[in-house]
Structure 1
Amino acid sequence: MKFLSTFKRCLAAGAVVLAAVSLQPTSASAAPPPVVGGTRAAQGEFPFMVRLSMGCGGALYAKDIVLTAAHCVSGSGNNTGITATAGVVDLRSSSAIKVRSTKVLQAPGYNGTGKDWALIKLERPIDLPTLKIADTTAHNNGTFTVAGWGAAREGGAQQRYLLKAQVPFVADAACGQAYDELVANEEICAGYNEGGVDTCQGDSGGPMFRRDTAGAWIQVGIVSWGYGCARAGFPGVYTEVSTFASAIRTAAANL
């Protein structure tokens, strides 16, 4: 894992590249640049969004299970050390729902390349809408929505408010020209060739989603990795959810 080169998009190594109020105060000279291609999400706009205490994002797969990235967790087994925050766009809100984990399941066979998904079992259900996952490649096209509390710029601080943006699908052939290490059958890319809008450090594990034919949100990707943040010619790389839909459902049923 190479920070600010190829890196996983977690707090420790590598969010939507948009500006907002930082969780930590900054001086005027160190403040993030103006908003880059996105806006602050409205309260309740994406009720399935979850912030995880290790510095990653996630989405409610079930009311008591969070779907996130494998690289956000250290392995599988009992784990009560993760806190999921949900129900708010402002992480400092007194209305935030906070629930601790009980178990973690990291994707079987995960070794740092591909298979970047994991499930976190919560100690109690969160009464919020869940996000269904794609089980075919029919939704691997068009424009996706990404959201997260990650950095507003490459190497920047985490954000207090949930930010959102839209990114277009990038075909495997084009994405493979940017990334030799792309696992085409397990990963999907999205972003603008000119850069400027992307996920970044702190957004790992969060969902990339779009509307299905019925108008409901459906998760197509999981924020995984990329070269820097919002760099021209280097789209974001996401776990292709449909590839692992069957495995995710089986794992969730046995968690």
Structure 2
Amino acid sequence: MSPSCPVEFSEVEYPQVENQRRQQFWDPVRLALFTLAIAAIIGIAIGIVTHFVVADDKSFCYLASFKITNIKYKEKYGIRTSREFAERSHQIERMISRIFRSSTRGRRFIKSHVVKLSPDEDGVNVLMVLMFRYPSTDSAERIMKKIERLLYPSLNTNQLPLTVNKQSFRITPINSKKMRNLLNSRCGIRMTSSYMPLPASSSTERIVQGSETAMEGEWPWQASLQLLGVGHQCGASLISNTWLVTAAHCFLRNKDPNQWIVTFGATIKPPAMKRSVCKIIIHENYDRQINENDIALVQLTIQVEFSNTVQRVCLPDSSIKLPPKTSVFVTGFGSIVDDGPTQNKLRQARVETISNDVCNRKDVYDGMITPGMLCAGFMEGKIDACKGDSGGPLVYPDKRDIWYLVGIVSWGQSCGLPKKPGVYTRVTRYREWIASKTGV
């Protein structure tokens, strides 16, 4: 077949139309009135735009340090992954949150995170970051004064569970980059104000009945695994600056690291970051017939730099057990209908954990669910992961809004069917295997 040629149009096909002459309307008086009207409209428009620009909020970050005098320092406080550090940090963060949220300005407070607990002869020194949202026209110094006026009187009350030395309290404005540097050693932190981003009743599309992710950085550990020349194949979760966790079945077609790339961000195109792959490790006992041990690791050739949009998720302790009906979140670029196309924008959905006993009922998966698997979704169906979400994260937030990877999208019967919830690789069962391969 010969190549098609550009189509040419003659003047006959597109005749020129001569416009009729119009009666002159613009006498001097009318022209002046019209000019005034246009000026008024422009003035109103500028006022509206200015209002919204002025009212536009932005994040303000602060570093707070203070001394708590009614508790003694424990050695485990120096280990950020310890239960002691987590519990004490949560108590401090909850106390600070209650102080701010009890005021009329409480809606301005976003969140706080304890960065460090260190010993003091009179108790424990605390270093923490605070996040607020205020109009972008405000200055960091003026906001700091507002924070101090709100905070200091509350520290004098006897109703707080912890005694704070008021004289030791210091607040310093910091930019978001410095805040991120302070938190880089911490996993599972999202630099957004949303704690639980989706109700279960959401009826907009995604991941079969979910929604588009609200903003860049909402799920900063989400990655897209792509075959060169083919495109998105699976999701993955960043667990360190060089390692990702995904599903073993993602590599049934191709195991050559040189043929894969990884992208990060809320869209596949354009990505926030792109990396090539140097190693793929598939679980030695992966069984594609029964979907057992459906887990793999991907190592990047060049480590990522953590930012507001790219961050690692926490790996759960192997002893963590989530009870049935725990709210968890699944994200991915997969199709929103069975066998549909990949989505360019990251999508999210809230689902609930389902016990293996229920999932193994004859009318559900009839004994196919093993201890290394986790069911999540709803027995009535509708909300579910789908094709293209494989390998992606199922995450859970603890009381401190720290996010943990509890599942890897693995398999299921179709997408969103009643009594056929999504089946995920249970990450707690593979915690030691991940550590043995990656050191994470």
- 2:357 aligned with 1:179: no
Higher relative CO (Cα under 8 Å, sequence separation at least 6) belongs to 1
Equivalent residue for 1:130, pick from 312, 321, 334: 312
Seen in structure 2, the aligned counterparts of structure 1 residues 73 and 242 have a Cα distance that, compared at 3 Å, is same
Equivalent residue for 1:63, pick from 241, 253, 270: 241
Matched residue, 1:104: 280
Unaligned 5+ runs, structure 1: 1-16, 21-34
Q: Secondary structure at the match of 2:382?
A: coil
Matched residue, 1:38: 210
Letter of the 2:295 partner, please give it.
W
Which whole-Å deviations, capped at 9, do the CAs of 1:210-243 have from their partners, x for residues lacking one?
Answer: 1124320001000000000000110000000000
Equivalent residue for 2:259, pick from 81, 91, 106: 81
Contact 2:208 2:384 in 1 (8 A): no
Q: Secondary structure at the match of 2:430?
A: helix
Shift of 1:74: 4.0
Cα distance in structure 2, aligned partners of 1:136 and 1:219 = 12
Matched residue, 1:24: none
Cα distance in structure 1, aligned partners of 2:414 and 2:381 = 11
Shift of 1:19: 3.2
Q: Secondary structure at the match of 1:237?
A: strand
How many correspondences in the alignment?
222
TM-score normalised according to structure 1 size:
0.81
- 2:339 aligned with 1:162: no
Which whole-Å deviations, capped at 9, do the CAs of 1:146-174 have from their partners, x for residues lacking one?
Answer: 00000011111110100000001101111
Cα distance in structure 1, aligned partners of 2:259 and 2:438 = 19
Question: 1:110-125 alignment to 2 at 5 Å?
Answer: 110-112=286-288, 113-125=291-303
Cα distance in structure 2, aligned partners of 1:96 and 1:78 = 24
Matched residue, 2:416: 230
Seen in structure 2, the aligned counterparts of structure 1 residues 157 and 75 have a Cα distance that, compared at 3 Å, is closer
Matched residue, 2:205: 19
Cα distance in structure 2, aligned partners of 1:137 and 1:209 = 16
Cα distance in structure 2, aligned partners of 1:50 and 1:102 = 16
Seen in structure 2, the aligned counterparts of structure 1 residues 75 and 132 have a Cα distance that, compared at 3 Å, is farther
Unaligned 5+ runs, structure 2: 1-202, 228-232
Shift of 1:120: 0.6
Which structure has more helix as a fraction of its residues?
Answer: 2
Contact 2:223 2:235 in 1 (8 A): yes
